[in-house]
Amino acid sequence: MFKKCVAVVAAMGLMMVAGTMPAMAAGMGNMGGTGGMKMGPLPKHLPKPGKAISYTAAKMLIKYSNSAGMLMGHGKHKSVMFMGHNIHIVMVAVEPGSPDQTFEIRKLVDPEITVPAGAKVTLTLLNMDFGPEMIHGVLIGKAKPPYKTVVPVPVQGQIAEIPLTMPRTAKAVKKSMYFFGTTTFHAPQNPGTYFYLCQMPGHAKSGMYGKFVVTP
């Protein structure tokens, strides 16, 4: 299965990348969420791009993803708001137990993400999915849904991209190794609505996308 994944990525001519940690807005300290929950620490020694991490390291990324930012809204319309000038967002692709072909942040499926205009954003994607076709990446741009099977990249108004990352190496979650990618970019100076989506053919069409809102 792993060799099949390598072949798919090689055929598409794509590669993986990696990165660092955030600071919340002044007055927020190291707090995230409406309940004042402390953000879990990120692993201090992540490997270089393209190298796998253990389940223990993956859990640290998940812990951070589940505690950073503030939950906003109610009912079905919920978003995660990030504040400050230096932000780190950890996004999980198909955390075990979540629906297929989805992104998760704070246990929300494909949530709306809001960041302030001009903020430096480090985005990390952890791929926890399994299977030869469960290769996931993420890009952010102005292209709106619905999406075709193949989304030509770069998309209109693209501001960020994490190339496709490999799925986990074993079916057993705790015994598997995991891959991740990271990119750093600046949110546009002008407020507006963008969309994040998986660029693997067919995934965005199946619903693997969400809103990325830049606020004043």
Specify the pLDDT at position 28.
37
Residues 37-56 have a mean pLDDT of 74
What's the pLDDT at 42?
A: 67
Could you read off the pLDDT of 62-85 as tens digits, one per residue?
Answer: 999 999 999 998 766 789 999 999
Which amino acid belongs to residue 57?
A
| Residue 196 maps to a domain | yes
Specify the pLDDT at position 215.
97
Phi, psi of 198 (to 5 degrees): -85, 130
Give the side-chain half-sphere CA count within 13 A for 8.
Answer: 18
pTM of the model: 0.82
Residue 30 falls within a domain, yes or no?
Answer: yes
Domain that holds residue 29: 2-36+49-215
Number of domains forming the structure of the chain:
1
Which of 6-15, 68-77, 171-180, 197-206 shows the lowest mean pLDDT across its residues? 6-15
Q: What pLDDT does residue 40 have?
A: 61
CA 10, 16, 22 angle in degrees (round to 5)? 170
CATH classification at residue 122? 2.60.40.420
Sequence-distant (6+) residues with CB within 8 A of 172 are: none
Assigned domain for 178 exists:
yes
* pLDDT tier, 37 (very low <50, low <70, confident <90, very high otherwise): very low
Residue with tokens 């919340």: 24
pLDDT at 91: 97
